[in-house]
Chain A
Amino acid sequence: MTDASTTAPVPAAADAAPAGSSASLRVEGLVRRYSRDSVVGPISFEVNEGEFFSLLGPSGCGKSTTLRSIAGFERPDEGTITLAGNRIDQKPPFKRDVGLVFQNHALFSHLTVAQNIAFGLTLRKVPKAQIEQRVEGMLTLVGLSGYGARMPSQISGGQQQRVALARSLILEPPLLLLDEPLSSLDLKLRVQMREELRGLQRGLRKTTIFVTHDQTEALVLSDRIAVLSEGRIEQIGTPKEIYNSPSSCFVADFIGSSNLLQAEVVAESGGRVELLTSGGLRLVADAPQRPKLRNVTALIRPERIVLLTAESAARLPASSSSFAAHVVNVSYQGEDTHVRVAAGNSESLLIALKSGSAGSEVIDGENVHARIDAQHIRILER
């Protein structure tokens, strides 16, 4: 692993980056109009040197358009793209020096694994002996030494993926783009490749943009995530920020599972507000900033709700944050048990419990108590 990265000369990355700026890639005001109603952007973001940055969103949100614009396969109508201080948005794709790993690997089936990896170097007229040495280094790096002479059709999907990655990495691009590279693999392989990818990226400190619709992949892999919806960025932040403090209902709903309750602010005092949900549930929530509107949405993560059986609730002191509930459905999911309860007049809440933990043994139709602490309710204003 270290072998390849030290012996291979580093052409562009080292001398191209301007001193003092840590932003490797800057996308500013990117707009792509497909038709009157289908517009992507304006999108602006910066990716720092060595950062693993994800573009996350449902299909049609503009993440692929953004990625393809950076690679040069899509012509943006507006905006600039700057890589290491140089504008690249007017350059043809073959002059951009941006490595792109395709969703379906895009290996050249008429070339061997080694020839695929060497493709870019042969174009650059690198001496043959050096190419062989660097290809060998790359094969070792991605754990495929000995596979150089095989044809792409003779290796597995995961191996093809690694060849595609090696083919891009060997050119030492200052920026690596990954277009849903794991989505064509089956679940087990996907998890394994995810970890390998993470290790590889950490080891090489390669600035990477990763496009995915899979929130788990984004959370696990990224230093920062940009959540996109309908052609716009909803929120940019670290995985923790995105999960714990989503800025909008869309982000809250898209990342993880959530209870989103429509509520009205009925009282406020000392950084806390009292909410009355549309389903008739009274909740007390922390509100660091005073909500501007009376009508808000309360976000409660399912794993933050504590479930108490009727007997144990009776033993605890009554508090403003607990309420009676009625178990509607219990679904065992292996590691977790999901319990859906009805509370208030017509509120329905999803509760995620570790299987075997207190409360996870409830049965359908049981009367229980639920408790939500004030700091676990997040107030969203849109």
Chain B
Amino acid sequence: MPASMRSTSASSSAEAESPRTVPGKPWMWLAAPYFLLLLAFLAIPLANLGLISLYTRSASAIWSTDLTLQNYRQVFDGYYFYLILRTLRIGAVTTVCCVVLGYPLAYFLARCSQRALSIGLFLLVMPLMVSTVIRAFGWMVILGKKGVINTMSQALGFGPVINIMYTETAVVIGLIQIVLPLMVMPLMAALEKVPLYLEEASANLGARPLETFRKVLLPLSLPGLFSGILLCFTVSVSVVVTPALLGGRNARMIGNEIYDQVIASLNWPMASSLSMVLIALTFVIVAGGQRVGKRFRREPLR
């Protein structure tokens, strides 16, 4: 059976590649250590988290094991719900900005010379080597009321021009810097697979550069774009440090609330249910995104 299935799939594609799967899957065991690690340090704690989220808060013992849905009810009304909305909004705005900023950059890196590529990649990855705390402080120095931008414009006689410290805008700016490489890398990989001659063919058939982008480049780079969007979004919605330092009290995100519930209020059941909701939301969005992305999963002919 499997043999006949393989042969039909091979004959349907013009140039039959070697089969993607190894019969018998002997290599599967190489992934076993990682799966064990995931089981011990992710799946089991996660199940525990789900359990705690159903417990009742107790002032004396952090939680009591009386099961309740009260925590989840609380998540979906008032302040917490607003926090979730804000978190999703910040994640969405950051992701959109990364698409707009990242696409041209990814295109440049996919088409530039080897030398420019190594320099470009270095510049792109270098910020990842600096801790997010230090990067957030960097932004405070630049964006603050008495920061670099304002003092410079004051020295030139314009007065303070920006007042965005401790707003969502500041958080988005800080986040873009952190997640932009996550957009550029998969997009660049996808664009590298689109041969230059396809762009030439499009131009030869009368397409202006923008039409070539819309009708050839964009559809063929969709898989990379989807990966980038998912990575950017999932990382953006789960950050703690950046909103804590750049957002202050005005741009708190779910991550900050969970942190405070655990550390300050000692309300672990509430923190757990917030965590579960965040995980569930991320999961739904990722799964949905992958479903949409699958429809466009078509790689250029070689």
Question: Which residues on A are within 8 Å of B, measured CB to CB?
Answer: 71-73, 92-100, 102, 104-110, 119-120, 123-124, 151-157, 160, 167-168, 171
Contact = CB atoms under 8 A, between A and B. Distances in A.
Interface in B201-216: 201-208, 211, 215-216
Interface string B215-253: 110011000000000000000000000000000000000
Nearest to A108: B216
Given A73-B200, A93-B200, A160 B205 contact: no
Contacts of B198: 106, 108
Given A104-B197, A105-B301, A110-B296, A71 B14 contact: no
Given A154-B12, A156-B14, 12 more contacts: A72-B203, A73-B203, A93-B204, A106-B198, A108-B216, A110-B296, A110-B298, A120-B205, A123-B205, A153-B13, A154-B13, A157-B14
B207 A94 contact: yes
A95 to B, nearest CB: 8
Nearest to A159: B14
B197 A119 contact: no
B298 A109 contact: yes
B260 interface: no
A71 B197 CA distance: 12
B220 A106 contact: no
A106 B201 CA distance: 6
Contacts of A153: 13-14, 301
Nearest to A103: B197
A148 to B, nearest CB: 17
Interface in B23-66: none
B201 A100 contact: yes
Interface residues of B, number: 26
Contacts of A151: 298
A100 B197 CA distance: 11
B299 A109 contact: yes
Interface in B253-293: none
A83 B203 CA distance: 18
A119 B202 CA distance: 8
A110 B220 contact: yes
Given A152-B301, A153-B301, A120 B206 contact: yes
Interface of B: 12-15, 195, 197-198, 200-208, 211, 215-216, 219-220, 296, 298-301
A106 B208 CA distance: 17
22 contacts: A71-B204, A73-B203, A94-B204, A94-B207, A94-B208, A95-B206, A97-B206, A104-B195, A104-B197, A109-B298, A109-B299, A110-B298, A119-B202, A120-B206, A123-B215, A151-B298, A152-B14, A152-B301, A153-B13, A153-B14, A154-B12, A171-B205
B14 to A, nearest CB: 6
Contacts of A95: 206
B113 to A, nearest CB: 15
A94 B203 contact: yes
A31 B278 CA distance: 63
A359 B153 CA distance: 97
A-B pairs, 6 with minimum CB distance: A106-B201, A120-B205, A93-B203, A100-B204, A109-B301, A110-B219
B206 A124 contact: yes
Of listed B195, B205, B208, B298, residue having the most chain A CB within 10 A = B205
B219 A167 contact: no
Contacts of A98: 204
Contacts of B208: 94
Contacts of B299: 109
A152 B201 CA distance: 15
Contacts of A119: 202, 205, 207, 215
A99 B205 CA distance: 7
A109 B13 contact: no
Contacts of A109: 220, 298-301
A339 to B, nearest CB: 41
A100 B64 CA distance: 75
Contacts of A168: 204-205
Contact of A123 (B12, B195, B211, B220): B211
B293 to A, nearest CB: 13
B209 to A, nearest CB: 8
Contacts of A124: 206
